Amino acid sequence: DKLTVCVCGGGNGAHAMAGLAAAHPGTEARVLTLFQDEAPRWANIMKEENFTIQQNKPDKSVVHIKAKPALVTKDASQAVPGANIIIFCVPAFAHAQYFKAIEPYVYPNTAIIGLPGQPGFEFQCFDVLKDKARQCAILSYESLPWACRILEFGKLVEILGAKDSLMGSEIKGKSQLKPDPAKTLQAMLGEHPVLKMAHNYLEPYLMTKSIVHPPLMYGRWKDWDGQPMAEKPLFYQGLDEFGAGSLSTVSDEVLDTARAITKQKPELDLPHVEHLLEWYRQDYRETVKDPTSLLTAMRTNTAYNGLVHPMKDAGNGKWVPDFGYRYLAEDIPFGLVVTKGLALLAGVPTPETDRVLAWCQDKLGKEFIVGSELKGKDMTSSRAPQAYGFKSLDDLMALM
């Protein structure tokens, strides 16, 4: 049977995924991109040119895969009908508009995949698709499968390196898809990353790496005197005890939340949730030189060599921090506010998360948290469970 895949988005990840789907035997790949003039630009370029993925393999060889998506459009009524699998490859802030665009054309037994999904993906999916979501399989992965970048828009994308493994979750609902959509995705991706399945959709929320950036921004900039700087400070290697301590405590609070959830609802087993330090010790064991503590693990991780704080040009060769960068703009509403919301439902106090959130939201000019409650005026623009009216752990389980 023919497989039809609709990739949503027009950036780096969407280019790579659209090419891999098009290259998969027996598959029609379509692209739905709603942003500006991306769809006509991409479609026009493909009339004249090939579409190529340049993939760097671990043995240092470079493979070129040539495969064109059958359709690139901003019209969901063309891209979505008949699609067996819809893959979101856009930053989380753009998810809502794609859910709304696909909603009229989604039929039962479609797989909807967030690649990445990011915390709250399922809440938003059910909020927009309502009962339709129950007839579909909703999958969500913790990140993109690879580091990738567009070299020439609509024409050439580079996959720099695939991750070893990637954790995802699946809500099957009443859907009956054969083969399982995770298997189909694996076939399109190839050998790496190896896709893994979490116990439930909440597990990746509580394992999310989006908790990393906000405490490190808070630690570095909370006492900043506002003076432009001559150098961009190192993000990880310049970490100090205060920032590492804040992050470690936030990670403890997430772990406490997971334990409290499982204690109250043993069906919500969350065995993969662990402290960030354990994650660094395992996943970065090749590159972390000193795994003694979170501080030493981050400061000595050679995978982070040279990564600097997001900075804006302040003129005269000087720099000021960019608080509008995704480290806060995305990782607060689609990260830390979501884990905070889960903590509230589980009855777990999170004083450090609250402190970090209060500082970060101020830098974003938003108000999600008031004291220790998610009662701010911008709360409903986040993906906290409370933004969708969830009041209890039972409400969380009702999606499963």
In this structure, the number of other CB atoms found within 10 A of the CB of residue 142 comes to 25
CA 112 to chain centre: 15
Residues 291 and 309: their CA atoms lie apart, in Å, by 23
Taking each helix axis as running N to C, give the angle between helix 213-221 and helix 241-264, from 0 to 180 degrees, rounded to the nearest 10: 150
Q: Please state, in angstroms and as integers, the Cα–Cα distance from residue 20 to each residue in 9, 75, 131, 325, following that order.
A: 14, 22, 31, 29
Tokens of 104: 């009229």
Of 93 and 242, the one with the shorter C-beta distance to ligand NAI is 93
Its sign, for the CA torsion 33, 170, 136, 1, is positive
Tokens of 205: 């929320």
Query: Nearest distance from residue 330's CB to ligand NAI, in Å?
Result: 7
Query: Nearest distance from residue 240's CB to ligand NAI, in Å?
Result: 26
85 in the Ramachandran plot: left (φ > 0), alpha (ψ -120 to 50) or beta?
beta
Q: To which residue do tokens 């709304």 refer?
A: 100
Identify the bridge partners of residue 129 per DSSP, sorted by sequence position. none
Of 144 and 276, the one with the shorter C-beta distance to ligand NAI is 144
Residue in 24, 213, 272, 275 annotated catalytic? 213
% helix, strand, coil for the chain, step of 5: 40, 20, 40
Query: Nearest distance from residue 328's CB to ligand NAI, in Å?
Result: 13
Of 28 and 38, the one with the shorter C-beta distance to ligand NAI is 38
Residues in touch with ligand NAI (CB under 6 A): 9-14, 33, 35, 38, 89-91, 94, 116, 143-144, 147-148
Of 327 and 368, the one with the shorter C-beta distance to ligand NAI is 327
Tokens of 18: 């659209």
- Angle (CA) 362-277-367 rounded to 5° is 15
Of 3 and 87, the one with the shorter C-beta distance to ligand NAI is 87
In the annotation, is 213 catalytic? Answer: yes
Query: Nearest distance from residue 3's CB to ligand NAI, in Å?
Result: 22
Do the Cβ atoms of 162 and 192 come closer than 8 Å? yes
| Residue closest to ligand NAI (Cβ) | 11
Query: Nearest distance from residue 333's CB to ligand NAI, in Å?
Result: 13
Residues 377 and 348: their CA atoms lie apart, in Å, by 22
Residues 288 and 296: their CA atoms lie apart, in Å, by 8
Of 81 and 91, the one with the shorter C-beta distance to ligand NAI is 91
Q: What is the DSSP letter of 333?
A: I
320 by DSSP, 3-state: which?
Answer: strand
Query: Nearest distance from residue 120's CB to ligand NAI, in Å?
Result: 13
Query: Nearest distance from residue 381's CB to ligand NAI, in Å?
Result: 14
Q: Number of helices (H) and strands (E) in the chain: give both, helices first.
A: 16, 14
Tokens of 155: 């024409």
CA-closest candidate to residue 7, choices 130, 121, 102 = 102
Of 33 and 257, the one with the shorter C-beta distance to ligand NAI is 33
Of 167 and 229, the one with the shorter C-beta distance to ligand NAI is 167
Query: Nearest distance from residue 347's CB to ligand NAI, in Å?
Result: 31
Residues 32 and 8: their CA atoms lie apart, in Å, by 5
Residues with a catalytic annotation lie at 213
